[in-house]
Chain A
C-alpha cells in the first residue's frame, strides 16, 4: 500500500542514553552532569570487554562507542519495561564528522607501508567507510529500517534530527534512533593540529517517536517544536546564529522568556546565545565546557544534558530548551524542544 500521506505530528523524544566521558549509560551521564566536573575520554573503554568477543573483532573505537550507546538505550528501556521495537520499523540515523579517522588513516598507511600497495587489512575495509558504526549497530540489534550515516560536523546531531523528522513524516519508519558518535584517537588529535579546546568523545542516542506510533504508557520527555538551519553567506556567523535562534523560536510560537535551558556547541558563542535567551538558561548547560569538542555529538549531548537536568528540576516542566550549533564556516542550526510536563 503506498504511503501517500505526509504526517505533520511533531517528533517526540521518549528515551535517551549515552556512552560518555562520565561512563556507560544514562545514569552515569546524569550523575556526571550533576557533578559538573569536566571529562573528555570515555573511561576504560575497551570494546571487547564492554561488548564481549562475539562479532566485535573488527570493531574500531567509533563502532564500539556507537554500538554500546544503542545497547544501553535498548537495555535501559527493556529494564524499565518499555522495550523498544527493532526490525524494519526502526530507523537509525547517526551523525559523524569523519567516521573513524583512525581506521581510515591506518588503512591508507598500510597501503604505503606494505610490501605491495594492496597489502591492506581487507577485513577492516567496512571501518574506513563512514557507515561502519551504523552498519555494525544494525547487524547487532537487527535494525532493518532506514540506516543512515549523516556527516554534518558541529551541526551533525541537529541535521540528523531533521533527517529523522523527514523519515517519520514520510512514514519510512515508525521510530528512529537518532544520535552521533565521535572517537578520541591519536589520528583525530593529529588532524586537529592545535585545537582551542580539548577533544572529547562519546556517543549519545535519542529515541524519537511520534504520537501515531507511541506505545501506550511511554513517557514523553520532550517534543521537537522546531528546527532551523542557516548559513552566514555574508561572513557574519554570529548573525547567522542569532537569526536561526530567533527563527526557531518564532516557528515554535515561543518567546525567549520561556527558555529554561540553552546550549551552543561548535564555535564558542555562549555569550551571543545568552544575549538571545538570557544568561540563566545558558548557564545551566555547558556541553563543551564539560565534554570538550565532541564534534557532531555535541548537540546530542546538549539534548541529553538538558533532559538529565530537567528530570531533577520540576521547574523545567513545560518550558523550552534551545539546542544550537555554530561551525567555523558559518553554518548555524537551532532546535527548540518543549520539555515534558506543564501544559502539554
Chain B
C-alpha cells in the first residue's frame, strides 16, 4: 500500500506562452483532505485539473514533469478515461446534467455500459446516501435535477462522482457559489468522505481550509510556496509570504 495517492515531481505547465505552474513538487497523502489555497490566478485550480487531466480539454496546454497516481505516471501509463473514473471531480458551480436525479447519479456507470437495473438502483442509493442527499430526494428520484436547490445540486454532483466508486475526489471551490448553511452541510459531508476517499479541495476560504483540511498547500503566482499539516501552515508558517497571505496582508 503506497501511502501517497499522488506524487508530483518537477511539474511545469504552460498555457501557450504563459507559465501557470512552476516546478511543482508535492505529495498528496491517501485518505486525507488536502486543501490548495492562494489568491486568484495562483495556479491552484490548474494543478487540481492536472490530476485528472481535465486540462487536456483546453487547447494549447503544455505539460512537463511527472504526476504519479499510485506509482503510475498519469500522463504516460494511464488511460485517461480510467484515470477520470478513479479521480472524480466536483466543480465550482454545480453542473448537474439536464436529466432526472436518478439519471444524473447513474450517468457514469451507464457510460461504462452498466445496464442492470437492480445494480444501478443500489449504486444510486448508496451514492446518494454517502452524499447525504438520499433522505431529501428518495421520493422524487425521477424528477428533474434542476428542481433542487443550489446546495442540493452540488451534493448531487458529489453523489454522481461517488457513484463511480473513485479513489479520489477533486473539488474545485465546491462551496463558493453556496450560502453558509449549504456550505456547512458540504463541509460536514467531507468529514465522512475522507474515510473512503482521498480528497483534494481548492478553496478561496482560509477558514474553510482550516476547518476541513489535514494538509494545506499554499500557492502564489504558479509556485508552491509552502505545504504541510494544516495546523502548522496556519500557526507557524515558515515562509513570510504564507504568513502574509493567511494574516490578510494581501490576497
- The answer to whether A and B interact is no
Interface positions of A (Cβ within 8 A of B):
none
Interface positions of B (Cβ within 8 A of A):
none
